[in-house]
Amino acid sequence: MNLRELFIQHLAQTSPSPLGLEITLASGVYLYDASGKVYLDLIGGISVCNTGHRHPRVTDAIIRQTEQYLHVLVYGESIQSPQVQFARMIAEQLPPSLDCVYFTNSGAEATEGAMKLAKRLTQRTEIIAFQKSYHGSTQGALSVMGDEYWRNAFRPLLPEVRHLQYNSPDALAQISSRTACVIAETVQAERGVYAPDPVWMQELRRKCSDSGCLLVLDEIQTGFGRTGTLWGFQQYGIVPDILLLGKALGGGMPLGAFIAGREPMSAFTNHPVLGHITTFGGHPVCCAAGMASLQVLLDERLVEQVNSKEQQFLQRLVHPRIKKIRSRGLLMALEMESQEFNKLIIDRCLAAGLLTDWFLFAPDCLRIAPPLTISGPEIEKACDIILRALDQ
């Protein structure tokens, strides 16, 4: 059997027609397959590789940590410098009320931890989420996913979860003294990049405060500069009670986190002790990589370049077959006439050496979420390929 046949035979498949690229090397904004073909990566591992693939400072940090230690004990029991230093570094970039980090293996696990913490702190049971939202695919996270198509096959899920309309004033009236938390994305990514009205987000914050429930903001895709500020919530002038991170957090390594204040997070330490636990969460190698990646973002001032790069895309991607472009920084959705046509364009781009994708709840939209390190000439090249695909 060749490698593709072994891939089909021995790895659990998530779709009947996987992309199936055999990548042998990734560097910067480029991927290389087994045949030697080069692809400009316009999705960055789905908003993971914000500082590019294998940034030298990230790989150096990984190598240095592997020379010291890997896993030593379950999370929270031993003092591991990469965890401590990275948590401090993240807290220094956040408002004072978000100063305590619980590292997980993924964004979905961050969602799970946040829901547990909200129930524990409020002693309430209702969770409010929004239609067309995505927070992960584990059973708890799936329960708050905002699309019944994806949920239905796995019921029963968590009880007392309500899905309301995102960016709707009427939804805010449903938040009550029964609500433990409201979980929302700062930008609904998988819907095809829908950003809410800032006034609505401010009212959501006020309503949560007034009703005594917690506001959980999901920045798993939008964090670390993707939207043009280090954190998406900065653009609304609000601060969540719990912040969810993942994807770009580990600099290409698997890492997630939920972040709250030190006092609320201490609820996990008693009644019961070990109220939330993970074996590999905050793995020292992942934390070392994530810390190096965040330092690159700050040192190379990558976040400050996002808005000008967004404008370059918007100015170039003008075509009658693009119905609409929704964007928030370097998270963009090109709406096409149909899902079938979008798939055709994605396939044409791939054949021409450009890796693009669609959105979970918006299969008629082409995804643009490149590494934030993408250069002006690389943006021009990507736009040329998309426009040629549209012209064929």
pLDDT tens for each residue of 288-325: 999 999 999 999 999 999 999 999 999 999 999 999 99
Q: What is the pLDDT of residue 296?
A: 98
Residue 88's Cβ-side half-sphere holds a number of Cα atoms within 13 Å equal to: 7
The CATH classification number of 57-299 equals 3.40.640.10
Residue 313 Cα distances to 204, 337, 385, angstroms: 32, 20, 12
Tell me phi and psi for residue 205, to 5 degrees. Answer: -60, -45
> Thinking of the domain 3-54+301-391, which architecture would CATH place it in?
Alpha-Beta Complex (3.90)
Q: Which amino acid is at 35?
A: S
pTM attached to this predicted model: 0.97
Cβ–Cβ under 8 Å, residues 383 and 313? yes
For residue 196, give every residue at least 6 positions away whose Cβ sits within 8 Å of its Cβ, in sequence order, or none. 166, 167, 187, 188, 236
Q: What is the pLDDT of residue 46?
A: 96
Helix H or strand E segment including 92:
helix 81-92
In the structure, what pLDDT confidence band is assigned to residue 279 with cuts at 50, 70 and 90?
very high
In the structure, what pLDDT confidence band is assigned to residue 7 with cuts at 50, 70 and 90?
confident
In the structure, what pLDDT confidence band is assigned to residue 177 with cuts at 50, 70 and 90?
very high
Domain ranges of the chain: 3-54+301-391, 57-299
Averaged pLDDT score across all residues of the chain: 96
Q: What is the pLDDT of residue 4?
A: 86
